[in-house]
Amino acid sequence: MDQPDPIPATVRERDASAWQGTRHHYPEEDVARAALDLPLHAWLGRFTGHVSPAALTLAWVDWSLHLLLSPDKQAELATHAASATLRWWRYCAGAALASQAAPIEPLAQDKRFADPAWQRWPFNVLSQGFLLQQQWWHRATQSVRGVSPHHADVATFVARQLLDAAAPSNFVPTNPVVLQATCERGGMNLVSGAARAAGDAWRAASGSAAPGLRPGHEVALTPGRVVMRNRLAELLRYDPVTPQVHAVPLLIVPAWIMKYYILDLSPHNSLVRYLVAQGHTVFVVSWKNPGAAERDMGLDDYRRLGIMDSLDVIGQESGSGRVNACGYCLGGTLLAIAAAAMARDHDRRLASLTLLAAQVDFTEPGELSLFIDDSEVSFLEASMWSQGYLDTRQMAGAFQLLRSNDLVWSRQLRHYLLDVPDRQTDLMSWNADATRMPYRMHSEYLRSLFLNNDLAGARYLVDGRPVALTDIQAPIFAVGTRTDHVAPWRSVYKIGVLSDTETTFLLSSGGHNAGVVAPPGDSARDYQILSRAADAPYIDPERWQREAPCIEGSWWPAWEAWLARHAGPRVEPPAPGASLGPAPGRYVLEV
């Protein structure tokens, strides 16, 4: 039996009353007009991987027609093709007899042909032919006069996907590394790989997942308890480990697309454990994994039930009228919306605002924009309408396509052809433990933020009135990561343009996840950091990168030192209140 609910009665009443007003995303007449469109698009999505065929067709027509009407570009491509072919023939003529300088080197991140076996004939000839063809197609799909940048990027992306699928590294007869392993093991690598492929296919078809590290057992181990639970979120409070703690607590808001324990993985790389050890009282929102029953929950439900209700409970738990708030990825975007609304309404509870790899301006959203335009969003809405949510497999597929060489083809090479089992890590296990997204919320996010950029344009409505990021007066600490393909750091950097308060920007080495999970002691880490006063002139990102000092090591201590300046004096830890059970709670375990 559950223990008594510690949520204040006012919070419970606000939850119930607001829910009554948000039952329908679309007016009934709009749904009636789409009585055939929505089911048709949802059915088509099963065969297209939920990618809009209209969006791909528009991109292809835009590119191909403009290329057809560009004789200069055609001549340039023909000249380049002839030159590349001649270079390849010359290389082929000498490659079998003597060491020849390669006509083209792969990109730094392309490790497919790094093994020395690829330098032997005929595999060097195959790899060079592939790389030259890859280069030609990139030229063919870019810089065609008149093609919209989005359609050009889509054409480049599709060409890259098709080429990656046909790369010589993917096939046994044309991969010297696989041939050598097959000879040494008498073909057992292919037999074992086929069995592993069959097992993976069965799990994918049945919807079951490979066993991973379990929250509360191998990961998410920092001691704490659940102090609030509503229909969308749990609030976790972590136990103090220092005799005294900072008077101002910290609220962490993760993205609803991820389980919160990305910030509480193993004890050695847990940001939550690190902050608790520095004397911070840490609260973390743990989002429910929504299903069809939550289809009509929108962005404002996430703001109210996740952030505002948490702030109310934290005030009761800590006795503090001020809270430091930190948002990660989409959680940071949501936190920025909440902070702007609070500033507009003269709610001064936020002492500071930290945004980790979080965008508030979506004009340069990175590679995810390949999948986002009006056609694709409408098509995706049909899929979500039919089931009530965006499935985790649909999201995982999009992210895998963005890095198909690393996440699809290279993995299949290792896993199925070389018989190298996956090495289970806490980050990989967390990455496979995704959450769904409600139909209404994801539609609102894609249209209001991604397509219309309403937050940056001060058009986003909260309680029927627009909010502006310029109203935020709390100091801001923003973290970008150098190789982030989800939230590019130059896009994250724009918070300094869109706010009128003191801003500290930190650029960490690594990507969207590994750049944030950067515990002290990792000598491979480094970061740059620079602060700007509210009235200081703007510094563009390129100049910022040139002028900001580069510091070796983890960025966590630098942020913690900044956070401590806004966390007040050390006091006795607040007395524990009512509990709904131990951390990691119930919602993080939902699949």
pLDDT in tens, 192-208: 988 888 887 887 666 65
What are the φ/ψ torsions at residue 228 (nearest 5 degrees)? -155, 145
- Do 337 and 461 fall within a single domain? yes
- DSSP H or E run through 79: helix 71-95
Cα gap 141→76, rounded to integer Å: 13
Q: At 442, list the tokens.
A: 């994801």
For 353-368, what is the HEC assignment?
EEEECCCCCCCCCCHH
**Same domain assignment for residues 202 and 160:** no
Cα atoms in the 13 Å half-sphere on the side-chain side of 259 = 28
Q: How far apart are CA 60 and CA 178, in angstroms?
A: 36
The model's confidence at residue 30, banded by pLDDT at 50, 70 and 90, is low
Task: Note whether residue 373 is domain-resident.
Answer: no
Angle at 159 between CA 153 and CA 163, to 5 degrees: 145
- Tell whether 298 and 204 lie within a shared domain: no
pLDDT of 39 above 90: no
For residue 8, is the peptide bond before it cis, meaning its omega torsion is within 30 degrees of 0?
A: no
Of the pLDDT bands very low, low, confident and very high (cuts 50, 70, 90), residue 31 is low
Q: Are 287 and 254 in contact (CB under 8 A)?
A: yes
How far is it, in rounded angstroms, from Cα 317 to Cα 227? 8
Mean pLDDT of 317-329: 96
Q: Looking at the DSSP assignment, which residues form a beta bridge with residue 325?
A: 251, 353
SS3 504: strand
**How is residue 294 written in tokens?**
């939550």
Residue 495 has pLDDT above 80, yes or no: yes
Shared domain for 133 and 63, answered yes or no, is: yes
Residue with tokens 């007009």: 33
6 vs 145, 312, 313, CA distance in Å?
62, 11, 8
Catalytic residue numbers, as ranges: 329
Lookup: tokens for 512: 């969207």
Q: How many separate domains does the chain show?
A: 3
Share of the chain above pLDDT 70, in %: 89
User: pLDDT digits over 246-257, tens only?
Assistant: 999 999 999 998
* Domain co-membership, 351 together with 477: yes
Query: Does residue 572 form part of some domain?
Result: yes
| 35 within domain boundaries | no
Q: Is the pLDDT of residue 5 over 80?
A: no
Residue whose pair of structure tokens reads 């911070």 in the numeric block: 280
Q: CA-CA distance, 239 to 215, in Å (whole number)?
A: 17
**pLDDT digit string, tens, across residues 48-107:** 777 888 889 999 999 999 999 999 999 999 999 999 999 999 888 887 666 667 778 888
CA pair distance 4, 578, nearest whole angstrom: 8
- Give the model's confidence band at 21: pLDDT under 50 very low, under 70 low, under 90 confident, else very high: very low
The count of other CB atoms within 10 Å of the CB of residue 105 is: 11
Q: Are 194 and 168 in a shared domain?
A: no
Which of 111, 146, 172 lies at the terminal end of a domain, its last residue? 172
User: CA-to-CA distance for 201 and 193, rounded, in angstroms?
Assistant: 12
- Flag whether 371 is in a domain: no
Q: Is residue 129 part of a domain?
A: yes
**CA 141 – CA 70 distance, rounded (Å):** 13
3-state secondary structure at position 292: helix
Q: Please check whether residues 478 and 512 belong to one and the same domain.
A: yes
pLDDT beyond 60 at 33: no
Strand 350-356 and strand 476-481: the pairing is parallel
Same-domain check for residues 466 and 353: yes
pLDDT of residue 4: 38
Residue bearing the bigger pLDDT, 390 or 266: 266
For residues 499 and 472, the answer to whether their CB atoms sit within 8 Å is yes
| 340/474 same-domain check | yes
What span, in angstroms and rounded, lies between the C-alpha atoms of 181 and 487? 39
444, part of any domain: no
pLDDT of 20 reads 33
Burial call 547-578: b when 16+ CB within 10 Å, e when fewer: ebeeeebbbbebbbebbbebbbeebebbeeee
State pLDDT tens for residues 501-530: 999 999 999 999 999 999 998 778 999 999
Cβ contact 388:439 at 8 Å: yes
Query: Mean pLDDT across the stretch 565-576?
Result: 93
Q: Are 177 and 163 in the same domain?
A: no
**What order of strands is seen across the sheet that includes strand 282-287?**
224-229, 233-238, 282-287, 250-253, 323-328, 350-356, 476-481, 503-508, 526-532, 550-552
d(CA 396, CA 419): 23
- Residue 79's pLDDT is 97
- Record the pTM: 0.88
- Tell me whether residue 503 is in a domain: yes
Residues 182 and 133 in one domain: no
Contact 59, 403 (CB under 8 A): no
Q: What would the DSSP string read from start to end of 380-447?
A: HHHHHHHHSEE-HHHHHHHHHHHTHIIIIIHHHIIIIIS-------HHHHHHT----EEHHHHHHIII
How many Å apart are CA 475 and CA 534, to the nearest integer?
9
Domain that holds residue 92: 53-172
Are 404 and 424 members of one domain? yes
Residue 328 is encoded by which pair of tokens? 């990660």
312, 281 contact by CB (below 8 A): no
Q: How far apart are CA 431 and CA 425, in angstroms?
A: 10
Element (H, E) at 45: helix 37-48
Q: At 476, which CATH number?
A: 3.40.50.1820
pLDDT higher than threshold 80 for residue 9: no
Q: What is the pLDDT of residue 470?
A: 96
Residue 550: inside a domain? yes
